Amino acid sequence: MNDKEDSIFSSLWFLRIISLVLAIFLFVYVNGGKNGQFRQNSDSNQSVMSNKSESIKMPLQLRMNSRKYVVTGYPQYVKVKVVGPGALVTSTANTQNFKVYADLTDLKTGHHTVKLKTSGLNSELKAKVTPKEINVNIQPRRTITSKVEVRLSNRNLDGQYQVGRPTPSMSTVQVTGTKNQVRKVARVIAYVDVPKDSTHDIHRQVTLQAVDKKGRAVDVVVVPNTITVTVPIIGGGEPGDDNNSSSADNSSSGSSASSSSSTRDQGNQSNNATATSNSDKRNY
């Protein structure tokens, strides 16, 4: 029996079969690990490269001759839907390193419909701008100089306090807009709120507003659009302060008069003494 077993294990075919089984096992084990890692890498790459969309609020820029023309009617912001690889979309949404603009360089005065464009986007991204087009009104630009008029909310204060003459930090400002709108400007107003219980000078930074003859706001740009206004508050003394001051003044005047009289008396006595001495010398 032992001889048979030894012959089986020492048989060349037995060793070949065992070697083949081990080789197959190792092959399956190694390839299974590689396939698992490949699937993980593939899933990771798919998550990075999968398409993603995101809406971004972007400021609208105008390409035009701003020294010569004024444009009205356009929105300050537009919505941009960006579609593309997830990593690029996220980076673009965070940095906003692209522009949305309307090209008005070749347009003349009047009303126009202009298509919005984008620049600076990665070539792998697609963008959809909402709205696609805008309506604008291009008019010649005009600038005038206007005086600043200060208006106070209250001039009657509590107690004996009174409102002095307000002083703006700038007496004139620049008003810019279309010719039609600038013609309507009658004055530039600085409204200052003065509380009724004010006891000290007021310093306010206020926003300027251009208005027409009827006091209605005009669609123009005021430069600078804010100034500082100083409103002096006068008074606040007690009723008896004037009498006390008068008494003090009278007392001071009386003291001065008494001092002067005493000085004059001393001078007269000195003169009399000198005259007597001279007389005695002559008699001698």
51-131 and 141-235 share one CATH topology? yes
pLDDT level of residue 248 (50, 70, 90 thresholds): very low
pLDDT level of residue 249 (50, 70, 90 thresholds): very low
CATH C-level class of 141-235: mainly beta
CA end-to-end span of the chain, whole Å?
Answer: 187
What is the model's pLDDT at position 37? 56
145-162: pLDDT as tens digits: 999 999 999 888 888 899
What is the model's pLDDT at position 272? 43
Structure tokens at 114: 């202009």
pLDDT level of residue 279 (50, 70, 90 thresholds): very low
Listed by start position, the domains of the chain span 51-131, 141-235
Higher pLDDT, 104 or 37: 104
Q: Which of 3-7, 91-95, 102-106 has the lowest mean pLDDT?
A: 3-7
Higher pLDDT, 46 or 274: 46
Q: What's the topology of domain 51-131?
A: RNA Polymerase Alpha Subunit; Chain A, domain 2 (2.170.120)
Task: Please compute the mean of the pLDDT values over residues 5-30 and round it to a whole number.
Answer: 71
Amino acid at 268: N
Higher pLDDT, 126 or 260: 126
pLDDT level of residue 50 (50, 70, 90 thresholds): confident
Of 154, 234, 176, the residue nearest 200 (C-alpha): 234
Amino acid at 236: G
pLDDT level of residue 247 (50, 70, 90 thresholds): very low
Q: Around Cβ 69, how many Cβ atoms within 10 Å? A: 17
